[in-house]
Amino acid sequence: MREEQMQEAPVKVLLVGVDIGEEADFEYSMEELASLAEAAEKEVVGQIVQRLDHVNKALYIGTGKVDDVRRLAEERGAQEVVFDNSLTPSQVRNLGKELELTVIDRTNLILDIFAIRAQTREAKLQVETARLQYMLPRLVGMYDALSRQGGASGSMSNKGTGEKKLELDRRKIEHRITELKKELEDVSRTRDVQRRKRQQSRTPQVALVGYTNAGKSTILNRMVEQFGELPEKTVMEKDMLFATLETSVRSIDTGHNKPFFLTDTVGFIHKLPHGLVKAFRSTLEEVKYADLLVQVVDFSDENYRQQMQVTADTLKELGAGDIPQIVVYNKADKCGMEPLPQKRQEHWYLAAGQNTGIRELAEAIEQQVYADNVDCTFLIPYSAGNVASYLMEEAQVFSTEYREDGILIHADCHRQDMERYKTYMTQ
Ligand X SMILES: Nc1nc2c(ncn2[C@@H]2O[C@H](COP(=O)(O)OP(=O)(O)O)[C@@H](O)[C@H]2O)c(=O)[nH]1
Q: Which residues are annotated as a binding site for Mg(2+)?
A: 217, 244
Q: Which residues of 208-246 are buried (b: 16+ CB within 10 A; e: fewer)?
A: bbbbbbbbbbbbbbbbbeebbeeeeebbebeeebbbbbb
Distance of closest approach, residue 124 Cβ to Mg ion, in angstroms: 18
Out of 117, 159, 198, 216, point to the residue binding ligand X (CB under 6 A). 216
Helical segments of 201-232, H only: 216-227
- Residue 184 vs 219, nearer CB to Mg ion: 219
- Residue 217 vs 325, nearer CB to ligand X: 217
Separation between Cα atoms, residue 350 and residue 171, nearest integer Å:
52
| Number of shown-chain residues binding ligand X (CB under 6 A) | 22
The vertex-146 CA angle with 162 and 177, nearest 5°, equals: 70
DSSP 405: T
The one of ligand X, Mg ion, none whose footprint includes residue 275, by CB under 5 to 8 A per kind, is none
Summarize the annotated binding site as residue ranges.
210-217, 244, 264-267, 330-333
Within positions 70 to 109, which residues make up the interface with Mg ion, using CB under 5 A?
Answer: none
Query: Any contact of residue 217 with Mg ion (CB under 5 A)?
Result: yes
Out of 267, 273, 275, 406, point to the residue binding ligand X (CB under 6 A). 267
Binding mask 231-250 for Mg ion (x = CB under 5 A): -------------x------
Query: Any contact of residue 238 with ligand X (CB under 6 A)?
Result: yes
Helical segments of 201-303, H only: 216-227, 274-279, 281-288
The one of Mg ion, ligand X, none whose footprint includes residue 334, by CB under 5 to 8 A per kind, is ligand X
The vertex-302 CA angle with 300 and 306, nearest 5°, equals: 115
Separation between Cα atoms, residue 39 and residue 243, nearest integer Å:
9
- Residue 129 vs 248, nearer CB to ligand X: 248
The CB-nearest residue to ligand X is 353
Distance of closest approach, residue 62 Cβ to Mg ion, in angstroms: 39
Out of 85, 91, 212, 314, point to the residue binding ligand X (CB under 6 A). 212
The alpha carbon of residue 231 and the mean position of all alpha carbons in its chain are separated, in whole angstroms, by: 24
Give the burial class of 118: count Cβ atoms within 10 A of its Cβ; 0-12 exposed, 13-18 middle, 19 or more buried.
Answer: middle
Distance of closest approach, residue 244 Cβ to ligand X, in angstroms: 5
Q: Please identify, among the stretches 91-99, 145-153, 350-358, 369-377, the one whose residues bind ligand X according to the rule CB under 6 A.
A: 350-358
Out of 51, 97, 165, 334, point to the residue binding ligand X (CB under 6 A). 334
- Residue 263 vs 368, nearer CB to Mg ion: 263
Q: Please identify, among the stretches 5-13, 148-156, 166-174, 206-214, the one whose residues bind ligand X according to the rule CB under 6 A.
A: 206-214
Distance of closest approach, residue 174 Cβ to ligand X, in angstroms: 34
Within positions 272 to 331, which residues make up the interface with ligand X, using CB under 6 A?
Answer: 296, 330-331
Among 239, 232, 249, which Cα is nearest to 194's?
A: 249
Separation between Cα atoms, residue 273 and residue 107, nearest integer Å:
6
Query: Any contact of residue 218 with ligand X (CB under 6 A)?
Result: yes
- Name 148's Cβ contacts closer than 8 Å, sequence gap at least 6: none
The vertex-256 CA angle with 252 and 259, nearest 5°, equals: 30
Query: Any contact of residue 352 with ligand X (CB under 6 A)?
Result: yes
The alpha carbon of residue 167 and the mean position of all alpha carbons in its chain are separated, in whole angstroms, by: 34
Out of 108, 129, 203, 213, point to the residue binding ligand X (CB under 6 A). 213
- Name 125's Cβ contacts closer than 8 Å, sequence gap at least 6: 180, 183, 184, 187
**Residues at the interface with Mg ion (CB under 5 A):** 216-217, 244
**Residues at the interface with ligand X (CB under 6 A):** 212-218, 237-239, 243-244, 267, 296, 330-331, 333-334, 351-354
